Structure 1
Amino acid sequence: MEMQNRLAPQKTQKEQAVKYEANGMEITLTPQIVRNYLVSGNKEAVTMQELAMFINLYKFSKLNPWAKEAYCIKYGSEPATMVVGKEAFQKRAEANPAFDGSEAGIIVMNEETREIIYRIGTVKLPGETIIGGYAEVWRKDRSHSTRIEVSFDEYAGRKKDGSLNGQWSKKPATMIRKVALVQALRETFPSAFGGMYTAEEQGEIEPEYTTVPEAPHEIIEEPKETTKLESLESEKTENADSVQDVAAALFGK
């Protein structure tokens, strides 16, 4: 009789979902949706704590994951990195009634004359070395602009051998200009961009998607049958305190 009770099938609870609105669209996320659709790299290694952090980034910043406004990057056993796309910064700034335009470009040095030149855009001429990027943002309710200058060597992503990696080797001017622009936007509108950082600022490479990930049609998994014995075996591999912490972080329970 005891064995029968232990093997009696029990229904698992539905995976809880977080719902919020972003740009007039209702977004529903669960840890499984984020793991399956919104993680770049080693998605199987992402922990529940990292998934909770990622969902909260979307929820409290009102970001739309299906518009590539933010995503999670996970490599090996390194902590997952939560990053926001540059377009999300620009769209949010443009939606602010106080926004009054911006300018961004690169800082180069002429290798022969050693002259330092500030150039709008990303055009680098032969005989020039990129040493940084700059950006300036204006607000209608301020008498002065916010200007940021960043060093190329400080932010350029590099491999272990010291050579530039990924997009930093292909588009160095574009990358450093992007770093300067998002920093200027964040300082100009701190309440809109607090806690939001791009991949380039964190030494990561922004994923290159050929298409926008499609939102899943079934967003909440149906409960499945399991046995109490299977549940007990599963619990051995999980940290109960960790699960409670994640639930509290996500759902306030």
Structure 2
Amino acid sequence: MTLPVKKNDIQKSASSIANFSPEQINVLKNSIAKGATDEELELFLYTCKRTGLDPFSRQIYLIQRKTKDDDSKEKKSNGVIQVSIDGFRSIASRNPEYAGQTTTLFCGKDGKWTEIWTQEEYPFAAKVGIYRKGYQEATYAIAKWDSYVQCYWVKNNHGKNSQEVSSMWKKFPELMLGKCAEALALRKAFPSDLSGLYTADEMAQSNNEVIEAQEVKDEAQKPKLPSTKEWTEQNKKITEVQQKQIEEEVNTQSVKKVPAQVAQAQKVLDRKEKALEAEVIDNEIVYNGSEDHKSKFKEIFRCLKIFSEIKNDMEKTVELATYFSERCLGVPLKHLKEHLINIENDYKINHSKDISAA
């Protein structure tokens, strides 16, 4: 059940900062900025206004991160503002000097860069360059795997610790590392706009902690990435479990006699919160190249300007569809359209001659 936020001076001040309604502030404090103090909420809304990011679109959010107090040695919860990679892209695209970016490149320990990572081992580093008008060269940033990968120290019954890579970094190593490199490059290219802002992927290592476990996997065993079918089934199970939890929570809510106006207001808040919960579930389903996902990809691809320019050339259409589809793997379906538009803009900048020739 959503708990209403008291109308105090802090809330009124927060409402005036980002021009959010009291209902929207209730939703923020009970979902996107859950657990935030009034002062943390005020700072969060001020950051939303300064960056022009929309918290309801998950471009920016506030999470509670536990840190150890130096004096008491106890863990305390503090609100930390984080921006999604889509938020970074949105801020950069609004800057008049932004002129696109390079394709994400990956390399192993041999230092040879490639667009597509096909090795069984994890990539050693990822590199992205950002173009700015008036600059001859792109501003590059390199993210090393060891510097950003999220790991957990697992402790077994014998007291020995071993380090394991978290599930998302294990399933999508090049996607996660690529986002870190992109965020680094964007912040390096536009420090005035992005200074002090970090993505969740960059901050992943701060969550590393020791977890009690009964078994520890063999460290020498090479990680095996799941197949498309396995990932689809896992996503389906996760979605079903989360949906069941939402239904159980709704069904177990007690019925109370309240004034009609209060009941109506609560229904509005509940609908908004359910919509946000559904959005979280949708965000966990990513494009994996399956037939179901390809139908949505084709629908969006046909709407791109680049498709209308080469629609009479079937060979070029197949080539571009393959090029775009490979660069959409691991992208949340909810953001697939925005991602395709970004790829289209980047492709036109780097392949303008190819398009005109077609």
Q: TM-score over 0.5 for the alignment?
A: yes
Write the mapping of 1:199-214 to structure 2, written as runs, cut at 5 A.
199-203=200-204
Match of 1:38 in 2: 32
Structure 2 SS opposite 1:196: coil
Write the mapping of 1:1-253 to structure 2, written as runs, cut at 5 A.
15-16=11-12, 17-19=14-16, 27-28=20-21, 32-39=26-33, 43-44=34-35, 46-75=36-65, 77-109=76-108, 115-120=110-115, 123-161=116-154, 162-203=163-204
Structure 2 SS opposite 1:199: coil
Q: Distance in 1 between matches of 2:201 and 2:124?
A: 16
* 1:13 CA drift (Å): 5.2
Q: Distance in 2 between matches of 1:19 and 1:49?
A: 14
Q: Distance in 2 between matches of 1:38 and 1:127?
A: 36
Query: Is contact 1:106-1:176 (8 Å) kept?
Result: no
More helix by share: 2
Q: Normalising to structure 1: TM-score of the pair?
A: 0.63
* 1:195 CA drift (Å): 1.9
Whichever residue aligns with residue 29 of structure 2, its letter is R
Query: Is contact 1:20-1:28 (8 Å) kept?
Result: no
Whichever residue aligns with residue 78 of structure 1, its letter is S
How many residues in Structure 1 have an aligned counterpart in Structure 2?
A: 186
Q: Distance in 2 between matches of 1:13 and 1:80?
A: 20
Q: Distance in 2 between matches of 1:13 and 1:49?
A: 12
Q: Distance in 1 between matches of 2:28 and 2:54?
A: 12
Query: Is contact 2:180-2:202 (8 Å) kept?
Result: yes
More strand by share: 1
* 1:127 CA drift (Å): 4.7
> C-alpha deviations, 1:98-128, integer Å up to 9, x for none?
211101424332xxxx6322122xx322355
Residue 28 and residue 202 in structure 1: after superposition, are their counterparts in 2 closer, same or farther (change >3 A)?
farther
Q: Distance in 2 between matches of 1:178 and 1:139?
A: 19
Q: Distance in 1 between matches of 2:186 and 2:53?
A: 16
Residue 70 and residue 156 in structure 1: after superposition, are their counterparts in 2 closer, same or farther (change >3 A)?
same
Whichever residue aligns with residue 178 of structure 2, its letter is R
Structure 2 SS opposite 1:174: helix
Q: Distance in 2 between matches of 1:167 and 1:12?
A: 40
Q: Distance in 1 between matches of 2:7 and 2:202?
A: 41
Q: Distance in 2 between matches of 1:80 and 1:182?
A: 21
Q: Distance in 2 between matches of 1:28 and 1:20?
A: 11
* 1:31 CA drift (Å): 5.7
* 1:173 CA drift (Å): 0.6
* 1:217 CA drift (Å): 5.5
Q: Distance in 1 between matches of 2:167 and 2:143?
A: 20
Q: What root-mean-square deviation, in Å, do the aligned CA atoms of Structure 1 and Structure 2 show?
A: 3.0
Residue 194 and residue 13 in structure 1: after superposition, are their counterparts in 2 closer, same or farther (change >3 A)?
closer
* 1:60 CA drift (Å): 2.0
Greater mean alpha carbon deviation, residues 177-186 or residues 96-105: 96-105
Q: Distance in 1 between matches of 2:202 and 2:119?
A: 27
Structure 1 SS opposite 2:198: coil
Residue 169 and residue 128 in structure 1: after superposition, are their counterparts in 2 closer, same or farther (change >3 A)?
closer
Query: Is contact 2:17-2:46 (8 Å) kept?
Result: no
Whichever residue aligns with residue 30 of structure 2, its letter is N
Whichever residue aligns with residue 192 of structure 2, its letter is S
Structure 1 SS opposite 2:164: coil
> C-alpha deviations, 1:135-172, integer Å up to 9, x for none?
10111122332011111111111112321114212211
Q: Distance in 1 between matches of 2:199 and 2:50?
A: 17
Residue 64 and residue 28 in structure 1: after superposition, are their counterparts in 2 closer, same or farther (change >3 A)?
farther
Q: Normalising to structure 2: TM-score of the pair?
A: 0.46
Point out which structure has higher relative CO (alpha carbons under 8 A, 6+ apart): 1
Whichever residue aligns with residue 114 of structure 2, its letter is R
Q: Distance in 2 between matches of 1:56 and 1:143?
A: 35
